Structure 1
Amino acid sequence: MYIDLILYNYLLLIGQVWCSSSNNNHSGRQILKGKGIFALKPVDLPLKTSVVSLRSRTAEAYFGDNHFCTGCLINDFFVITSGKCVTSRGKVPRRPRELVVVSGSLSRLNQTRETEKLPVSFAAVHPNYIMFNTNDIALLKLKDPVNENFQETDPAPQALSRPPYGSKCIVMGWGRKFANGPLVSNLTMLEVQLITPAQCRRFIPEMTDEMLCTVSRNNTLPVGPCPGDTGGPLFCNDALIGIVSYTMGCSRVNFPTVYTSVFYHQLWIEDLLDRGGQQRIKLAIGMLIWSYMMT
């Protein structure tokens, strides 16, 4: 066992050195623990500036230990994320004052001069999410806009059409390194591939039209979003197309991750943005009525 451990560590070291030497023409790279494995990924993707950390109002022991979900800026005032991130297990809405959005930093644990801790004025969850456990999407409105002069903060462009199946995509977040493992310290970027609904239904019969599925682009390594990445953005062709809904692909080879399609819900998003958040009252009343009926 001891000899095997030495051999394993030696081979791991050789592999890291080989990867570093074969990619030495790319500046600004670092080794990221990609959900249970070591993966060399670029850290200079411009879309990283739109990714934000969703946290409870106060940290327990140190900055960043209260992260629980990921989100994405779609303009200076609004963050898109998963409905799971802003509701309780009973799907009762969280109070906005319990939430804070942290932007402007790739590190979950360290603050920079561009790190902003932004309070939330309200959270709107799709009305059908509470009834069918689909439509897992929510919008958060910030009390104050993000600082548009900060280079590390910039909203993501939304897709004008659904990308073709088989597209190479990227998902980002501060989720766990592997199932039941610790949260990553720095923003992780994982390469995934968009698969067809038919392929996804082999694993998830309940797949609907407003869902998207991806698998790891490597067929032998378990790379996929994990808890803590929920609500994080899925980017294809340099545009936001989905948000992480179910992290079933975490550390499981060839098992898909399910996303909510942002493009599918574009009308709901635009309606809420046009109303400036006025829809939140109707949504809140509907959710409270539904919660009462279920008790």
Structure 2
Amino acid sequence: METLFFKLFLICWFIEHNNALKSSNSNLLPMYYISGGNREPSTFKLVSYIVSIRSRNPQRYFGDNHFCAGTIISKTAVLTSAHCVMDKRRVLTRARRLLLVAGTPNRLVPISTTVQFPAKSVTANTNYIRNNKDDIAIIHLKGEIPEDNENIQIIKMPTGPPVYNTSCIIIGWGRMIVNGPLAVLPLHVNVRLYEPSECKYFLGEHYHEGTLCAGDSLNYDEDPCRGDSGGPLICNNELTGVISWTIGCGSNRVPSLYTDVWYNREWIEKHLNAGFRVSVINKLVISFSFI
């Protein structure tokens, strides 16, 4: 039976990969529904806000080194989850080991608008507790986001506290089913932002101040999965949360946990500005070296 399921997974992956290659060469964006996610024209606009976070070198082909997502919050910075840039011992990943890819919906096929950014520095919240709270990090880029690339956009940051019971969107290239293949083209899911009392009921000790939870009570199969971590929770066209963790890709009827961006705004501003200051100082040092 396991062999049969494995063969079915391979068939599904081949169909998805084949469709993705066709879509990358076409202006037509058909609607799909694939194992816990939706794909439609609006999906491809949303993907302009996110990057694929990868190890520096692919194993065999372009895109097979994807492991997390992040959201573009400035010309030189991406917001993601701390667990995407830390190991289990809370040791920070060295910037030189990371590559961020933007401007391409197809995870496996680079196009004319694809831009690859090496990481300049990585900063994670020092209060981060794995699978619990303060799961947030900033990756500063070597280089700036191009202003003339419509496939790469800076997301709007929240202007106030989250509004509960709002319909929100999550998007990414995560696994399409539990233990299944990563999505080749991005999928998005509509979820409801739960009230804090609901989050406490479902998540117990895992829910803390500074975290959010969201899900679809009518369809728990639609949820973030491995490979979506670090990506955005978008509510009212603003970056409301960062995907932190989920239990079994939604299969256990429990909402997923997100880091609250508004709650962490001071930390974000502090380290966003710190990265800018470092960049300016480096440029000044280089300038003076030629005087």
Instruction: Give TM-score scaled by structure 2 length.
Output: 0.81
Contact preservation (8 Å) 1:100, 1:120: yes
Report deviation, 1:133.
4.4
Q: When the two structures are aligned, how many residues end up with a matched partner? A: 250
Contact preservation (8 Å) 1:28, 1:44: no
Gaps of 5+ in 2: 1-27, 279-291
Out of 225-234 and 245-254, give the one that drifted further: 245-254
- Equivalence for 1:15: none
What does 1:80-229 align with in structure 2 at a 5 Å threshold? 80-130=79-129, 133-206=132-205, 207-216=207-216, 219-229=218-228
Report deviation, 1:144.
0.7
Pair 1:85–1:161, CA change in 2 (3 A): same
Equivalent position SS for 1:214: strand
- Equivalence for 2:32: 31
Contact preservation (8 Å) 1:249, 1:256: no
Q: Which amino acid aligns with 2:271?
A: L
Distance in 1, Cα, partners of 2:187 & 2:39: 10
Report deviation, 1:120.
0.2
Report deviation, 1:255.
1.5
- Equivalence for 1:10: none
1:186-217 CA-to-partner distances (Å, cap 9, x unmatched) read 1111111100111111221121110000012x
Report deviation, 1:45.
5.9
1:123-142 CA-to-partner distances (Å, cap 9, x unmatched) read 00011115994100000000
Q: Which amino acid aligns with 1:30?
A: M
Q: Which amino acid aligns with 1:276?
A: G
Equivalent position SS for 1:58: coil
Pair 1:87–1:54, CA change in 2 (3 A): same
Contact preservation (8 Å) 1:63, 1:110: yes
Equivalent position SS for 2:204: coil
- Equivalence for 1:245: 244
Distance in 2, Cα, partners of 1:46 & 1:38: 16
Pair 1:223–1:249, CA change in 2 (3 A): farther
Q: Which amino acid aligns with 2:31?
A: Q
Contact preservation (8 Å) 2:51, 2:70: yes
Contact preservation (8 Å) 1:158, 1:240: yes
Pair 1:209–1:249, CA change in 2 (3 A): farther
Q: Which amino acid aligns with 2:275?
A: G
Pair 1:212–1:249, CA change in 2 (3 A): farther
1:218-277 CA-to-partner distances (Å, cap 9, x unmatched) read 614510000100000000001101010012261426320000011110011111122226
Equivalent position SS for 1:269: helix
Identity among equivalent positions (%) equals 35
Gaps of 5+ in 1: 1-26, 280-295
Distance in 1, Cα, partners of 2:91 & 2:214: 29
- Equivalence for 1:76: 75
Distance in 1, Cα, partners of 2:108 & 2:98: 17
Distance in 2, Cα, partners of 1:131 & 1:118: 27
Q: Which amino acid aligns with 1:209?
A: E
